[in-house]
Each structure stands twice: as structure tokens, then as C-alpha cells.
Structure 1
């Protein structure tokens, strides 16, 4: 299927010339006369590349680029800015807006052809990574499906973790990593025998040793992913304890990544408030008592107190199936 290229330029002659060139190269051209049209077309058509003029009515190219890069549906679409403004400050504004490339008008057709080909190669690689990441998330849900008692656990952790990260005032990159870490924190259990995962009795030391390998295993599984730098520490550290008695490394206090500390708290709360093979679910009130009892021992005292406040003030949103299925992580 031919790649779709969105051409946004308020100059009719320039826009039509670029559209003709794009179509002559074998691509599908989408044309927008202003910034508002460009945004609407990008969201409706999800093109493979945007060629974006800087000076346009409604929204200028910088604003269009910022909005495209801020929306998870269009954030990974390459944006090449077209400008007659060659001053360094204009390039800096484009870089700050998230532009991937720049072309100064008027431009040579050979250069335009080369830039289009380069950006489309990048988009194909990005799409491949996106598909790979989707497989990884599907694998995490398959691990969860092994155990009827943990149905919905991953989605709840992602949802609870994001709420706690937001309440703690953490930035959007950390909140997104926490959301992803909630979904992927137990992916390493793919290598643990079902008989151990579903065992209704206490584990033997040998079985527990297998369980303790899953944080490192999970971090290795996601290592090739783009988000691994931010998410792997959460996966690796979600069983570390504030007092240093956890695993796999015996980290203590703020040595434990903050995302891992968040997931550890919400993981414990969700485990306590859902049925498990070895016990019935606790009430939220009883779970809060247990959180308080281990606060500063197993879990970060400040984050635990904040999470308890969300529960007691009835500000913690418990997702239902429909809400979780359609939840979009922060960007």
C-alpha cells in the first residue's frame, strides 16, 4: 500500500506543486490549506509523513507540530517543516515543537525526494516497533490469563499506579512509565511453571526461588523495546522493600526507583482486595490497616500515606472493565 503524505501549505501554488510531486513519486497525497485542516486530516487519515509549512492561518506550523506530537495517535508520525525562514531561531522553535526534519523553500526536487524517503523509512521502523510492543503487552495479558484469580489485575495496577503518580506530582513521562510498568510488571512470570503460579498452598523454598527470578526475567524480555530505559527499572524493582529486605538486589529507600515503589504499593493493595487461591479478599479498610502496618518497612512511607489518603477520601478510582479497556495512558 502506498504511503500517505499530508501536505499542509496555505500557498495554493506551492501546495499544488508539492502534491503533484508526491503523487508522481507514487505516494497518496492529502492536502490541507491551513493549520486547522492539517490537524483534522492528520487525525482522520493518520498519514505516514506530514510536510508542514510554518506560516499558515488558524494554527501556524509550530502549533500544528506541537499538537500532533502531543497526541498519542499522531505522536510517532514524522513531521518535516517547510519554511522560507532559515534563521537559527526558527529551527530552534521547530525542534522545540517536535519537528523531525526541515526543508527550506524553494527546495531541490532531489533533496525533497531523499528527505521523504528517509522519513518514510523511519516511519516503517517505528511501525514495526509498535507492532512488537503490542505483542509484548499481549504476552503480559497472556501471563495474567493463566490465573483466574488475577483477572484484571494488570489493568487495575496501571490505573492505580497512574493515579498515585499523578497525586505525587510526577511528570508525564514518569506517569506513562508507571502505567506501562503496571501492565508489564509480572511479564517475567512467563517462565514460571503454572503449577507454582496456581498453587493454593505455601511455596517451597525451591518454588519461591523460581518466583524471585521473574523481575529480572521481565526486564530482559522488554530490553529491546523503546520504553525499556524507563520501564525496566520498575519491573526489576517492584519487589524491593523500603528497608532493604526485598529482592532481587536488596535495594533500600530511595535507591528503589520511584516507579517501582509506586507499583509495589498498588500491587500489594490490589492483591489484598481481590480473592486469591489461599484466602478471600480483604475489605479496603482492612487493606489500609495492613498498608499502615508495613509503611516504612516494606513500602515508601510518603507514597503509602498518599495512597491511603486517596483511598480514605474516596478519590481512588476503581476501574470497571469498560473503563479500563478504553483507558488511554498519559503522554
Structure 2
């Protein structure tokens, strides 16, 4: 039955799950919905067997996250072909996850080198997720935004450490080198390119709403919304953290700066939503 199938999946970690739509206690649609809702099983392909080919079954299946369908009576050749295709897809996804994990480890190592940014990645990822929910991003966008927040500064591996840790103001040449971290980061994360949102955040989180940012000088809603979210939360965390060149600001001081920069550095709607989260105690 369906409940037993879920227990087996937890123990076995299969490459493919073949479920029957009419299982007792918990049908195949319900099993699939549970699997796709969990981070550890959502990428495992699910092949659903249905008694007849009906549009209603397909709609229910797609809504539950089913990857493919088979209809009784089962043709063995068709079954083998579909299984091979789904297993190949699973292995490609596994390779992508391995690359992603390696890049996340790199991002964490970069942060560990700078005592002034300790905890920055975790805080920014949390802020971004909360703000993304507030402005009603879709679930898949929230997942990608969270990963992008973790990876947003990975390109700093290509910036001289003396620039990152300099206690005073940067020269024009030094600032120009610092700005390259967005492009370097995008290049490092290009193997994750199937998720465009991640690359957009990494490249564009230093764009400004007024078009005076970098690297591309995008303005207004030409800047992807996830990057506009990242711009606000990244700036807020920088303002409320110690840096080599200045002491941290209080939350009240940081909020005042966000208000002043709304419509200039930041998307005013997103800045207002973030300030509301802070002022109502829904974000700390």
C-alpha cells in the first residue's frame, strides 16, 4: 500500500519509483504528492500506473508531481523505454546536485576567510526567503532564491583578499576589481544554468533600481525580481554588520537608509515590504 511505499523509499533511496494509482490506504497520487513535497525525495522520478488513460487522471497526476504515466495493460517494451528515460534523467539531476553542493561548499569556504562576513550567507538566505514569501514568489522561485542567496558572493574568490579586507575606502581600480565578482560568480555557477533565477541573482544583485548599478546598468523592473529582493536583504545585512571600514548600524538606522534609497538603489515596493517585516517583528 501507499504508506508502506513511503517507508520503503526512506530506506532504499531508489532511482525510480513505480506506483499504482489505485493502491489501498494511500493512492498513487497521494504518495507522489508526499514524495515531491520533501527535499530528499522530490527529484526521484515517479512513474504512475493507471487503469485507463483518462485526462482527469493525468491532470491529478501532474498536479501531484508525477513525471510520467503508464496505462494498463502494460506493454513491457514501453515500460522499459520509459524507465530508461527517467533513470537517465535522475542521474543527470544527481550530477547537477553534486556540482551544486561543491559550489555551495566553495561559497562557505570563501565566507570563512573573512571574519567580518561570518554568518552573512545564513542571514541573507533567511531574509531573502522570508521576503520572497512576503512578495508571493512561487515555491520553485523561493527554493532557487534560497540557493542563490547562499551563492551570491561566490565570485569573490576571484577578487584579491587585500581588497575584500581593506579597512579604508577602495580606489577606483580596486572597486572595479571588486565589481567583477558578479560576473565571476555567474561563470562559476553556470553548470547550474538550468535554473536561470540563480544565475540572475548572482549577476544582478548589485544592480540599482535607478540604473546606476553593475554589471549591466539594468533599471527598474528590467532587473529580475529575485535580484531586486537580494539587493535589499544583502544591503540590510551589510549595514547591520561590522565591516573593516565602519561599525555596524542599528536596525533603526538601517531602516532609515533603506527608506532613503527606495526608488534609487532599491525597488520601492520590495524595500517597503522588507521594512514592514522588520517593523512588525516578523523578521529579526
Q: TM-score, normalised by structure 2?
A: 0.93
| Alpha-carbon separation, structure 2, partners of 1:212 and 1:309 | 30
Pair 1:69 & 2:39 matched: no
Say which SS state the counterpart of residue 224 (structure 1) adopts.
helix
Find the aligned partners of 1:244 and 1:128 in 2 and give their Cα distance. Answer: 37
CA distance in 2, matches of 1:115, 1:250: 46
**Residue 60 of structure 1 is aligned with which of 15, 24, 27?**
27
Structure 2 distance, partners of 1:264, 1:280, is 20
Shift of 1:226: 4.9
From 227, 234, 243, the counterpart of 1:276: 243
Mapped to 2, the partners of 1:287 and 1:227 lie a distance apart of 35
Report which of the two has the higher share of helix.
2
**Structure 1: gaps (5+ residues):** 1-33, 318-331
2:274 is equivalent to residue 307 of structure 1: yes
Note the C-alpha offset of 1:96.
3.4
Does the Cα contact within 8 Å between 1:43 and 1:73 map onto a contact in 2? no
Partner of 1:177: 144
Runs of 5+ unmatched residues, structure 2: none
Is 1:107 the equivalent of 2:74? yes
Q: Equivalent residues in 2 for 1:138-217 (5 A)?
A: 138-217=105-184
Q: Deviations over 1:132-160 (max 9, x none)?
A: 11001111112212211101101111100
Decide whether the 8 Å contact of 2:144 with 2:195 is kept in 1. Answer: no
1:84 correspondence with 2:51:
yes
Q: Distance in 1 between matches of 2:169 and 2:187?
A: 28
Alpha-carbon distance in 2 for matches of 1:197, 1:165: 28
Shift of residue 212, structure 1, vs aligned partner: 1.1
Aligned to 1:251: 218
Partner of 1:262: 229
Mean Cα displacement is larger for which, 106-115 or 201-210? 106-115
Change in Cα spacing, 1:256 to 1:226, as seen in structure 2 (3 Å) is closer
SS of residue in 1 equivalent to 2:207: coil
Deviations 1:62-117 (A, max 9, x none): 12112212221111111111233133443343333322232333434454444434
Paired residue secondary structure (2:43):
coil
* Structure 1 runs of 4+ with >3 Å offset: 108-118
What CA deviation, in whole Å up to 9, does each residue of 1:166-202 have, x standing for no partner?
A: 1122221222222122111111111111111111111
Q: CA deviation at 1:256?
A: 1.1
CA distance in 2, matches of 1:237, 1:132: 22
CA separation in 1, counterparts of 2:140 and 2:16? 25
Equivalent residue runs for 1:32-51 within 5 Å: 34-51=1-18
Q: Secondary structure at the match of 1:82?
A: strand
TM-score, scaled to structure 1? 0.80
Partner SS, residue 281 of structure 2: coil
Alignment check: 8 A CA contact 2:15 2:90 kept: yes
Q: Which secondary structure state, in structure 2, belongs to the residue aligned with residue 55 of structure 1? A: coil
Residue 203 of structure 1: how far off its partner (Å): 1.0
User: Aligned in 2, Cα 1:147/1:74: closer, same or farther, shift over 3 Å?
Assistant: same
Partner of 1:96: 63
Counterpart for residue 291 of structure 1: 258
| Cα separation, 1, equivalents of 2:48 and 2:89 | 16
Q: Computing the radius of gyration over CA atoms, which structure comes out larger, 1 or 2?
A: 1
CA offset at residue 224 of structure 1?
1.9
Provide the C-alpha distance between the structure 1 equivalents of 2:133 and 2:235, rounded to a whole number of angstroms. Answer: 19
Tell me the C-alpha RMSD between the 2 structures: 1.8
